[in-house]
Chains A and B, each alone.
Chain A
Amino acid sequence: MDGEELTEQETALYDRQIRVWGADAQRRLSKSHILVSGLKGTVIEFCKNIVLAGVGSVTLIDDRVVTEELLAANFLIPHDENMYAGKSLAVLCCDSLKDFNPMVRVSVQKGDLSSFGVDFFEKFNVVVVSSCSLSTKKLVNEKCRKASKRIAFYTVDCRDSCGEIFVDLQKYLYSKKEVDEMVECLLEYSSFEEAIAIPWRSLPRRVSKLYLAMRVIERFEELESRNPGDTSIADLPDVQKLRKELCEAHSLSESMIPDALLERLLASTTEFPPVCAIIGGILGQEVIKAISGKGDPLKNFFFFDSMDGKGIIEDISIVKAEG
């Protein structure tokens, strides 16, 4: 790999991880720029992981003013109202993250994620969004796809003891070691909009029930113009109604989205910190893979449910016709 060598300081600090992914990957990491929006527990975990890993820069978007509830799974902000009163999540997290690794530039971008144009996103190699509406997810994903260079796009959300990651690397070419020889692999990703538009009947056999349940709730929030995550157990009857409609439209049995699961997902908006750590860890690993070009990237959904303890990958992509 071209580019300057790692400094002595970098080699000492990153010694243990260079032994995992090599010096080339470390150099690529140090030149990458990450945009992160929606700073709840899972994303905080993710930010910690990539700042420690030594990316070039991290830009934070979240103008929400800090509240006790937003801090439930946040280890970046001191629990002292005098210190956080009136400040935005992004500003407070930024101060703390900088401290983790002086070699990473951490900064805050004010404003509404959906208002930024393609030229803004073009400054980044990776965009991670969380706690945002369905339409914003689609919009940002499309803008990333319109950029002149590839921007890796991720969405991540945790509800109760469950979590979901979506990945769009567009066309991703990487080399992979197979029995002593390097093989070129090409992966073609679907956008978020394309993926979730796939008829449920065409989904992989025994697809994760969590995938379907998350789509129902996401749709519900969209229809009701709720803030992301702003649903409760009181909404259960309406969500069940929507489930019925969606299942009928897709000719799918309602039993594929069990009541118990919906109840769990709606029960509380508070995050479960162990799940944040797990999902934030997997996401961190995936972003590191995508930047470094080392390792098989996840395609294209990941689900974790602490009830059964499984961390599952689902490939929910449209199959493009040849030619």
Chain B
Amino acid sequence: MVSEQQLSAIKGSKVLMVGAGGIGCELLKTLALSGFQDIHVIDMDTIEVSNLNRQFLFRQSHVGQSKAKVARDAVLKFRPNISITPYHANVKDPDFNVDFFKQFNVVLNGLDNLDARRHVNRLCLAAGVPLVESGTTGFLGQVTVHVKGRTECYECQPKPAPKTYPVCTITSTPSKFVHCIVWAKDLLFAKLFGDKNQENDLNVHSKDGSSSSKQAEDVFERHKEENLEQYGNRIYDHVFGYNTELALSNEETWRNRNKPRPIYVKDVFSSDLASQNGNLDKSSNGDPPSLSAMASLGLKNPQDLWSLKENSKVFLEALKLFFSKREKEIGNLSFDKDDQLAVEFVTAAANIRASSFGIPLHSLFEAKGIAGNIVHAVATTNAIIAGLIVIEAIKVLQHDIKNYRMTYCLEHPSRKMLLMPVEPFEPNKSCYVCSETPLDLDINTHRSKLRDIVDKIVKAKLGMNLPLIMHRSALLYEVGDDLEEDEVANYAANLEKVLSELPTPVTGGTILTVEDLQQELKCSINIKHREEFDEEKEPDGMILSGWIQPLAAEKNGKTTVDNEVSTSSASEAVPLLTEDDDDLRIIPTITGKKRKLSDVANERKNKRKAEEPNSKNDVVLLDDEKF
């Protein structure tokens, strides 16, 4: 039971929940049962079948509807007299500005991606509203409390960048299945079905440095006289046969590696060429409910491992189905883990490539998990985490600062604990988000354009939504609805200019001010000119630093003694939670691509370094599962 004091704090409060998914459903239920009477919920997603195993407020009949709205209706059934305000919207919408956030006593996050979390963190800091953060994956989870000036903010500890793979590993020397998935999804699938104008490294670079794409520019275009079978076979032979032959010609590459085996259609279907193309004609008579190569080939269990021949059949069949049944979408498709045919195509292509490179094959179920970055999720962990969020939220409402805790939900007990509370950390004095520490940017000011800074730093690294860039009092760049036409043109022109040639030149020693008016976040960037960057290691052609190294600097500070104590007690107790979180990005071609919010894949498993260098002491921070 709760005390009278607690109860009145709960009843008088107005809370904002961001996310009505796995954690969100549990949280809304527990808030309502606990006596909260004014709850606002934001979620941009709609309900999917794979949500139903844990997002218990939703039913089969709700598939396709707004999560926030259905969750509200479901909770009002057992608590009809409370107020729940749903928003079927993106929390990054400008409507949810600092004033909007100011109306709440506490904000509770149950989000599935780093981008939105950072955004909410900034709005909470700007509005001065405490934030309770949470995340789960499988049996692991955590809840943290962020109160401006009292505890660290969500971004006080740098979050590691998503895993990226060098281009040549993906295009020429894959050694893991995930490399084959990335190749199949981001290169082959994108080339065949995606935006034709997108830069794409699918073709192998041969020994003399010339790309096979030059002479084979049109190899992926279907010839007029070609039927779909011929086209499929030609694509197959090109990507699994010819391209591999070409890669083999770089003898240097294979000196210390196992050589791949080129695979051609004729090798796989040596004897029964006639039957290679499945039963498309048959199945089209029986019109299958959803378009699936598996279905037309009679493959049922997604957990089965297919042979090379089966994979080849699926590949050719899926390709044929795309071109015959979904022709209109070709050119605009991007990989979607809920698109059965796309998953089949990518699985098959990745497996054929894997078999070429001597890498173990995987089932469709497994391949889908890797390609879609699907996070493991169960109802129980979400329920536990939601309970812990409400306990912290009640403390926050009572300003019970001494008792704020971060709590980790563990899979294996540590010092007898399955639920482990830890004192929150103090704010990081050199955090660019919650303190005003300037950042440093090494960049070639004679070569890089303003656009590079906007895309690769301001948006990608600093997570700003509507940025404004200033050099002293001169505005270099700005986004907004209320701009004059000449301003828009001016900023567009600036974007394409090299830094040193801007109207107010940006050179070594320049201090840029970057600001996001929505997030009310402002920071300074010291520009340092540097001539050369390592293409593989520093693919952005620029290096941002400043808040990345707070750890070493902090060690000497006296102010962090308390922090140290709590850190070491935490790190003693928390075992290393190893996550195999291979992400699916290739550098540099894919990083610039616009990705769906939900695709911001791997940021879900963020690792925080404890202060001891021993990696055993890492604490892993988790996101809410995706979908």
A20–B376 CB distance below 8 A = yes
User: How far is it, in angstroms, between the C-alpha of A278 and the C-alpha of B141 when the chains are bound?
Assistant: 12
Residues of chain A with a CB closer than 8 A to B382's CB:
281
B358 close to A (CB within 8 Å): no
A281-B381 contact, Cβ under 8 Å, with A78-B77, A304-B419, A310-B417: yes
B178 close to A (CB within 8 Å): no
Q: Which of B47-55, B199-207, B487-495 contacts A (4 or more CB under 8 A)?
A: B47-55
User: How far is it, in angstroms, between the C-alpha of A18 and the C-alpha of B78 when the chains are bound?
Assistant: 31
A272 close to B (CB within 8 Å): yes
Q: Which of A4-23 contact B (CB under 8 A)?
A: 5, 8, 11-21, 23
Can you name the residue of chain B whose Cβ is closest to the Cβ of A287?
B380
How many A-B Cβ pairs are below 8 Å?
Answer: 173
Q: Which of B520-574 contact A (CB under 8 A)?
A: none
How many interface residues does chain A have, given as a range?
A: 35 or more
A8–B300 CB distance below 8 A = yes
B380–A288 CB distance below 8 A = yes
Residues of chain A with a CB closer than 8 A to B33's CB:
41, 72-75, 273, 276
A296-B412 contact, Cβ under 8 Å, with A52-B56, A281-B387: yes
A310–B421 CB distance below 8 A = yes
A13–B49 CB distance below 8 A = yes
User: How far is it, in angstroms, between the C-alpha of A76 and the C-alpha of B405 when the chains are bound?
Assistant: 31
B483 close to A (CB within 8 Å): no
A309-B379 contact, Cβ under 8 Å, with A15-B53, A268-B1, A270-B1: no
A157 close to B (CB within 8 Å): no
User: How far is it, in angstroms, between the C-alpha of A310 and the C-alpha of B417 when the chains are bound?
Assistant: 7
Can you name the residue of chain B whose Cβ is closest to the Cβ of A269?
B1
Q: Which of A121-129, A134-142, A211-219, A311-319 contacts B (4 or more CB under 8 A)?
A: A311-319
B297 close to A (CB within 8 Å): no
User: How far is it, in angstroms, between the C-alpha of A21 and the C-alpha of B419 when the chains are bound?
Assistant: 21
A175 close to B (CB within 8 Å): no
Residues of chain B with a CB closer than 8 A to A73's CB:
33
Can you name the residue of chain B whose Cβ is closest to the Cβ of A51?
B56
Binary contact readout A243-277 vs B (1 if CB under 8 angstroms, 0 otherwise): 00000000000000000000000011011111111
B387–A13 CB distance below 8 A = no
A274–B388 CB distance below 8 A = yes
Residues of chain A with a CB closer than 8 A to B139's CB:
20, 285, 295
**How far in angstroms is the closest Cβ of chain A from B626?**
9
A53-B378 contact, Cβ under 8 Å, with A45-B383, A79-B78, A274-B30: yes
**How far in angstroms is the closest Cβ of chain B from A104?**
11
A12–B377 CB distance below 8 A = no
Q: Which of A295-323 contact B (CB under 8 A)?
A: 295-296, 298, 302, 304, 306, 308-314
Residues of chain A with a CB closer than 8 A to B77's CB:
78
**How far in angstroms is the closest Cβ of chain B from A44?**
10
Specify which of A14, A52, A281, A302 lies most central, judged by the most chain B CB atoms within 10 Å of its CB: A281
Looking at chain B's contact residues, is the secondary structure mostly helix, strand, loop, or mixed? mixed
Q: Number of B residues contacting the other chain (C-beta, 8 Å)?
A: 60
**How far in angstroms is the closest Cβ of chain A from B403?**
8
A20-B378 contact, Cβ under 8 Å, with A309-B405, A310-B417, A312-B416: yes
A309–B377 CB distance below 8 A = no
User: How far is it, in angstroms, between the C-alpha of A281 and the C-alpha of B407 when the chains are bound?
Assistant: 15
B59 close to A (CB within 8 Å): yes
Residues of chain B with a CB closer than 8 A to A274's CB:
30, 34, 386-388, 390-391
The one of B377, B383, B388, B413 in contact with A16, judged by C-beta atoms closer than 8 angstroms, is B377
Residues of chain B with a CB closer than 8 A to A312's CB:
416-418
A75-B376 contact, Cβ under 8 Å, with A270-B1, A274-B30, A282-B384: no
Can you name the residue of chain A whose Cβ is closest to the Cβ of B137?
A20
Residues of chain B with a CB closer than 8 A to A74's CB:
33, 78
A284 close to B (CB within 8 Å): yes
The 7 closest A-B pairs by CB, nearest first: A311-B419, A277-B387, A309-B421, A268-B1, A273-B33, A281-B384, A281-B383
Q: A20-B139, A273-B33, A285-B378 are in contact. List 6 more A-B contacts (CB 8 A).
A: A17-B376, A277-B383, A277-B386, A281-B380, A288-B378, A311-B418
Which positions in A face B, CB cutoff 8 Å?
A: 5, 8, 11-21, 23, 41, 45, 48-49, 52-54, 72-80, 99-102, 160-161, 267-268, 270-278, 280-282, 284-285, 288, 295-296, 298, 302, 304, 306, 308-314
User: Can you offer 29 A-B residue contacts whose CB atoms are under 8 A?
Assistant: A11-B302, A13-B52, A15-B50, A16-B376, A17-B379, A18-B365, A20-B139, A20-B376, A45-B383, A52-B53, A52-B379, A53-B378, A54-B53, A74-B78, A75-B29, A79-B80, A102-B60, A161-B1, A273-B34, A277-B29, A281-B384, A282-B418, A285-B380, A308-B421, A309-B388, A310-B421, A311-B418, A312-B416, A313-B418
Which positions in B face A, CB cutoff 8 Å?
A: 1-2, 26, 29-30, 32-34, 49-50, 52-54, 56, 59-60, 75, 77-81, 138-139, 300-303, 365, 369, 374-384, 386-388, 390-391, 405, 407, 409, 411-413, 416-421, 625, 627
